Copies of this chain bind each other. A is one copy, B any other.
Amino acid sequence: MSAQPPTLGVGMAGFGFIGKVHAHAYRSQRLFYDPPPALPKLVGVCTSRAETAQRAAEQGEFEFGTDRFEDLLAREDIDVIDVATPNQLHREQVLAALEAGKHVYCDKPLAVTLEDARVMVAAARARSELSHGMALHCRFVPATMRARQLVEAGRIGRVYHFRAAYLHSGYEDPQRPISWRLSREAGGGVLSDLGSHIIDLMGWLLGPYETVHADAETFIRERPTGAGGGARAPVEVEDYVGFRAAMRSGALGFIEASRFATGAQDQLEFAIFGERGALRFDLMNPNWLLFYDAGDPAGDLGGERGFKMLECVQRYPKPSALPSPKLGVGWIRYHLHAMHDFLAAVAEGRLGNATLLDGARAQAVDAAVRESLATGGRATVADL
């Protein structure tokens, strides 16, 4: 590719934790990929108040900060709107961005409800000249990308059963105050927060979901409001959700998401058992994908059989300039990969590996899990 990569102006809505992560991912493309897929230019950032917007602009080295989302849409030199706001704002902002003719990069989960997600996908389909992406970074871990390659190459074969979990422990302290992540309206439970990642990942690896059957629990039902004076408010969302999933392929699985997995840091795990092979992975040991090839010859003392710790380090995507492939990866890296994929798609006028549709499909599973929780029975996952 000898042509100069295109410059893409970015307007970002929200500048909390994930906004900063995205800003870093934009800024790092030029150093990490040679050539970079595009030359992102951080033009404007929008937060809810003027003061924070100003500070965000400085910290993220944007040209301007604003508290009016329309200011981003109005700019000719902004090509991409990055939606890094709380979940309940995604629908309105994505629709407005598409309406304004901007490419969209949206944090997960896509929306609070499946209905919102459907509307957003319809809008995106109607503007097929625009690209769109989701920050589903779990698809961009070298080891999960390798897992997908192996699945696609038929190395796992028919999947018998699997399990997957995304485990955190950050809410176990009963003194941790209420926040939007504990509010139902904001879409803040663990199903949306961590569940959206593991649901998407397993769907990406194993194909569409058919039905789910779920349990959930809120272990701490009231928390301080943070306003002091002993004021407390009810927790409206689940701390833990676990559901059995039947995939269209016939594979049976169990998927969990928890904020109460004592001792867990950022523990995304899966194990997949298939007719031709098996896979195991743990995000806290991200440099290895464990792969078992059932076609390996048996023999005295075990022959050639065993799980191989495939070395999945920094080899993606090519061409990669930095760092060298043997060096261990960490969380921040996956977001660089995700951004590379999105920017390349924008630059080439196509869709990338993680789109609004993918976000909507995870939302459909989310909705089915909620239906199962409400009815106590098995629920069917909607088509999209």
Chain A residues packing against B (C-beta within 8 Å): 17, 20-21, 23-24, 27-28, 30-32, 34, 59-61, 142, 145-146, 149, 160-161, 163, 165, 167-170, 172, 213, 215, 217, 219, 239-240, 242, 244, 246, 252, 254, 256, 258, 260-266, 271, 273-275, 277-278, 283-292, 294, 300-302, 304-316, 318, 321-324, 326-333, 376-378
Contact A273 B301 (CB under 8 A): no
Residues on B with C-beta less than 8 A from A329 are: 330-331
- A61–B40 CA distance with the chains assembled, in angstroms: 12
A266–B263 Cα distance when bound, in Å, is 26
Report the minimum CB–CB distance from A147 to chain B (whole Å): 9
CB neighbours of A30 from chain B (8 A): 59-61
For residue A325, give the distance in angstroms from its CB to the closest CB of chain B.
Answer: 8
Residue numbers in B under 8 Å from A258 (CB-CB): 160-161, 273
- Given the interface pairs A161-B260, A254-B254, A323-B17, the reply to whether A315 lies near B302 with Cβ below 8 Å is yes
Alpha-carbon gap, A145 to B127, bound state (A): 51
18 contacts between A and B (CB under 8 A): A17-B323, A20-B31, A21-B322, A30-B60, A149-B301, A160-B217, A160-B260, A172-B294, A254-B256, A262-B274, A263-B305, A286-B330, A291-B306, A301-B315, A306-B308, A306-B310, A323-B331, A327-B331
Q: Are B315 and A262 in contact, with the CB atoms below 8 A?
A: no
CB atoms of A146 and B20 under 8 A apart: no
Complex interface: chain B residues within 8 A of A333 (CB) = 330, 332
B254 touches A242 (CB 8 A): yes
Shortest Cβ distance from residue A216 to the other chain B in the assembled complex, whole angstroms: 9
Q: Are B301 and A305 in contact (CB under 8 A)?
A: no
Inter-chain contact A331/B331, CB cutoff 8 Å? no
Do residues B275 and A172 form an inter-chain contact, with CB atoms below 8 A? yes
Do the beta carbons of A260 and B240 come within 8 Å of each other?
no
Q: Which of B23, B168, B213 contacts A326 (CB 8 A)?
A: B168
User: Nearest-CB distance from A242 to chain B (Å)?
Assistant: 6
Task: From known contacts A254-B254, A285-B285, infer whether A263 and B242 are also in contact, taking CB-CB under 8 Å.
Answer: no
With A and B bound together, what is the CA distance between A143 and B378 in angstroms? 37
With A146-B301, A306-B288, A330-B328 as contacts: A262 and B277 at CB distance below 8 Å: yes
Q: State whether A215 touches B242 (Cβ < 8 A).
A: no
Expressed in whole angstroms, the minimum distance between the Cβ of A97 and any Cβ of chain B is 23
A308 CB contacts on chain B under 8 angstroms: 304, 306-309
> Considering residues A145, A283, A313, which has the most beta carbons from chain B within 10 angstroms of its beta carbon?
A313
CB-defined contacts of A330 to chain B, threshold 8 Å? 286, 327-333
- From the candidates B17, B215, B274, B327, name the one contacting A252 in the complex (CB within 8 A): B215
Contact call B326/A265, Cβ cutoff below 8 A: yes
Do B287 and A261 have beta carbons less than 8 Å apart?
no
